[in-house]
Amino acid sequence: MTSQVMPTYARLPITFDRGEGAWLWDTEGKRYLDAISGVAVCSLGHAHPAISRAICEQAGKLLHTSNIYRVQLQEKLAGELCRLSGLDNAFFCNSGAEANEAALKIARRYGHHRGVERPAVVVMEGSFHGRTLATLSATGNPKVQDGFEPLVEGFIRVPYGSVAAVEAVNDSNVVAVLVEPVQGEGGVRVPTDDYLSGLRRVCDQRGWLLMLDEVQTGIGRTGKWFAFQHYGIMPDVMTLAKALGNGVPIGACLARGIAADMLTAGKHASTFGGNPLACSAALAVLKTIAENGLVQRAGELGERLLSGIRDKLAGNPRVVDIRGKGLMIGIELDTPCTDMVAQALNRGLLINVTADRTIRLLPPFVLNEDDENVLIEGISALVADYTAQRAGESV
């Protein structure tokens, strides 16, 4: 069948028909363990009854009203996110890219508030912040930017994980730092434990905003509600999306202090952002995670998976590193391995490869013990077979 969908995705030859928990079934009835959770979206798994119930109940009452009116569920959701994070207020949108756009607009308004005519933001090599024009300009991946020049100006790029590189920036136009606590698309790169506190110190010394892109790390994935809570610091701005709605599109940009005062009436908006349906789903997600202790479970489950995979692949000379934080796990090989995704699919396992040679696992928080074993055994066997096939090939 010829598709008239614009070919913006290199799709795999499979269509899913239904899901339950950590598992998906294709239209032929074959079952797959979803170890990527729709790229960190479905942290509660598929068709979670509490989320389905919340969506259905809200759909029967009210889907949408314009943001020119008060939206009670939006106010309730903002209150919950601020209570959990310690930030002051929230703007709601539809995606992580939109959330990062809001953060970048906060930075520019903050710059103008300080009398900086051409505000600039320090961003990181290997980062990913979205595919809108401003967020792809902030992104540290030339492949994402190729063909879309001229890019939006006002970004200064430095190596990820180096506080010294940020300290070395000597530009009076800088007003903020935008960084992922763990780089996901960049290859599941986990910085040292003093990285964020070092960035906080530099930002405080220079009057810059510290803005964290927690689109992938937020809502419990690393074993804390938000990844910054591992390190005893507070950001000025934080962005969220992905797991916030467990599949219902919603993003958020949270801020505190002076950053919370930058987007006033008429300065930013989103037609669908934070409508009653999306907010009801997000509130159900937060309630379900809290009531079932799933933040702590994500951390514990991640440690077991990391340990199990390391044990199984110990001594494999083509495995460069196995790393992670909570349920963000990366297995880096010494060779490009994007074709491994199709091989995994044939074995009934859904994975992803980032930065050409790092297998990325983002499993849902609801894996049971049997699912854990299936994932550890499945990914370890896949890597062992794949590296054996590639043995002797030039890298």
Q: List, as residue ranges, the binding site.
A: 96-97, 128, 131, 213-216, 270-271
Q: Which residues are annotated as a binding site for pyridoxal 5'-phosphate?
A: 96-97, 128, 213-216, 271
Q: Which of 91, 92, 128, 228 is catalytic?
A: 128
91 flagged as catalytic: no
Q: Which of 92, 228, 242, 365 is catalytic?
A: 242
Q: Which of 34, 213, 236, 371 is catalytic?
A: 213
d(CA 23, CA 375): 11
228 flagged as catalytic: no
Q: Strands 31-34, 23-26: parallel, antiparallel or unpaired by DSSP?
A: antiparallel
HEC sequence for the chain: CCCCCCCCCCCCCCCEEEEEECEEEECCCCEEEECCHHHHCCCCCECCHHHHHHHHHHHCCCCCCCCCCCCHHHHHHHHHHHHHHCCCEEEEECCHHHHHHHHHHHHHHHHHHCCCCCCEEEEECCCCCCCCHHHHHHCCCHHHHCCCCCCCCCEEEECCCCHHHHHCCCCCCEEEEEECCCECCCCCECCCCCHHHHHHHHHHHHCCEEEEECCCCCCCCCCCCCHHHHCCCCCCEEEECHHHCCCCCCEEEEECHHHHHCCCCCCCCCCCCCCHHHHHHHHHHHHHHHHCCHHHHHHHHHHHHHHHHHHHHCCCCCEEEEEEECCEEEEEECCCCCCHHHHHHHCCEECEEECCCEEEECCCCCCCHHHHHHHHHHHHHHHHHHHHHHCCCCC
Residue among 247, 289, 281 nearest 57 (CA):
281
Q: Which residues are annotated as a binding site for N(2)-acetyl-L-ornithine?
A: 131, 270
242 flagged as catalytic: yes
Catalytic positions are: 128, 213, 242
